[in-house]
């Protein structure tokens, strides 16, 4: 092999070995300490998220109008699936005759050092009822500057949201909490 290609090849190996990427950290909306199921009488039928945040990487707000995609901080699944799984965990296993829940998340904001916000419109359709209950929940929890603190604040928002859904269902699905 000629000397020039050998030198080029030899020069590439240290660059390949010297390169390393930051490790990826995975997060979940399912809390480490599960509470008691809020209700076993609600089945999560559908969840939708704003497209800006519905991805595998965490997205945080920066300043008044900026968003940052955290390339090394990921959800365990894309956000809509992560949210749905955590909500189902909070509501418990649905029994037969369970009410159907549709959730349209309007805002899912995470602001380091300030707060985590969950703003959702939701529709609860009780079995045997022809009129669904349509509600809106806006939940905000203070958060520290770390990603971990933001995730824990969103877990808290989700727990409170599940409690509101369970409360509406227990009340016969006739009024929003």
Predicted pLDDT of residue 8: 45
Q: Is the pLDDT of residue 4 over 60?
A: no
Exposure letters 19-47 (e unless 16+ CB within 10 A, then b): eeeeeeeebebbbeeeeebbbebbbbeeb
The mean pLDDT value for 142-150 works out to: 97
The mean pLDDT of 60-69, rounded to a whole number, is 92
Least confident of 29-38, 102-111, 138-147: 29-38
Encoded tokens for 23 = 């490790």
Give the HSE-up count for residue 120: Cα atoms under 13 Å, Cβ half-sphere. 30
The per-residue pLDDT of the chain, averaged, comes to: 88
pLDDT at 64: 85
What domains can be seen in the chain, in order of their start residue? 34-170 (3.40.50.10610)
Please determine, for residue 168, whether its predicted confidence score (pLDDT) is greater than 60.
yes
> What is residue 174's predicted lDDT score, i.e. its pLDDT?
81
Task: Tell me the average pLDDT across 31-36.
Answer: 73
């Amino acid at each position: 092999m000629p000397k020039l290609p050998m030198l080029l090849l030899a020069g590439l190996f240290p660059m390949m070995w010297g390169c390393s990427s930051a490790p990826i950290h995975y997060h979940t909306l399912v809390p480490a300490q599960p509470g008691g199921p809020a209700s076993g009488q609600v089945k999560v039928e559908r969840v939708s998220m704003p497209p800006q945040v519905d991805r595998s990487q965490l997205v945080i707000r920066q300043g008044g109008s900026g968003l940052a995609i955290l390339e090394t901080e990921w959800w365990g699944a894309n956000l809509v699936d992560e949210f749905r799984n955590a909500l189902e965990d909070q509501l418990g296993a649905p029994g037969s005759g369970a009410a159907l829940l549709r959730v349209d998340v309007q805002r899912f904001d995470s602001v380091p050092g300030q707060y985590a916000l969950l703003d959702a419109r939701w529709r609860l359709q009780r079995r045997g009822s022809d009129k669904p209950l349509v509600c809106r929940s806006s939940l905000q929890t203070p958060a520290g500057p770390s990603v971990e603190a933001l995730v824990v604040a969103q877990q808290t928002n989700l727990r409170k949201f599940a409690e509101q859904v369970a409360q509406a269902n227990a009340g016969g699905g006739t009024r929003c909490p």
